[in-house]
Amino acid sequence: MDRVVLLGRTFEEYRKYFLLEPEDWRGKRVLDVAGGVSSFCAEANDAGIVVKSVDPIYSMTTDEIARQSGPDLDKVIAGVRGLPTYRWTAYRDPEHVRELRERAVTRFLEDFSIRPERYRVGALPKLPFGDGEFDLALVSYLLFAYEEHFTYDFHRDAVMELMRVTSINGGEARIYPTVTFEAEPSRYVARLMEDPACEKFRLEIVETDFEFLVGSNCFLRITHC
């Protein structure tokens, strides 16, 4: 990926990425960081989870977002065909991926247009929320995945910010996946675990049974000590 692209992902995909059980989070406050055109925020709120999504693209109009998301999806679908860095077990084929992405962006655009209060303009490493405002912060396909685009300092500052906005009483952050788009383990995971700035947090790799990008069957879970 030569830049961060707009790809919509569904609630069910988030559930698999992060091992989320909906009944465990009903009534809880969840933040979807770099949520983009995913339908997680809309679908999760329908399920009784109090979700807000934050992304710089929310400064754009619905039509502007729709115009960009289409070409981004075409580019990604064309790019993943035949690549050895993807396993076609979680999805049937590239057209199945396209179907889910289109479903997600359609649901997102509908919700974004009628419930704009759920969507805040902002980006790591400085989020527009107060201290301890959320029980859970989620980041998918940004940190670690785009390692070549973001420095280690950016990742460390992002982790500090994610933990600032999560409650010290049981709040946590989950970052998926822990590999880059080249299907290589991110170098930054180990550095974060050894960084004195993160000593007040507990960092652990959690395995899942979901894998599309090779090696993407893990997320980093960060909790307050």
The DSSP 8-state label assigned to residue 133 in this structure reads: -
Of the two residues 218 and 82, the one the predictor is more confident about is 218
The SS3 call for residue 140 is strand
Instruction: Name the residue ranges covered by the structural domains of the chain.
Output: 11-224
Q: What confidence score (pLDDT) does residue 4 get?
A: 65
Q: Which of 180, 220, 165, 131 is nearest to 33 (CA)?
A: 165
- Nearest alpha carbon to residue 28 among 220, 158, 169: 169
**Domain 11-224 belongs to what architecture?**
3-Layer(aba) Sandwich (3.40)
Beta strand extents in the chain (DSSP E only): 29-33, 50-54, 119-120, 136-140, 172-176, 201-207, 218-224
Inform me whether the pLDDT recorded for 76 exceeds 80: no
- Residue 2: is its pLDDT beyond 80? no
Spatial contact of 30 and 136, defined as CB atoms under 8 Å apart: yes
Q: How far is CA 39 from CA 14, 64, 107, 177, in A?
A: 10, 17, 6, 19
| Percent of the chain whose predicted confidence (pLDDT) is above 90 | 80
- Report the chain's mean pLDDT, rounded to a whole number: 93
* Contacts for 193 with CB less than 8 Å, ≥ 6 apart: 203
Statement: the pTM of the whole predicted model exceeds 0.75? yes
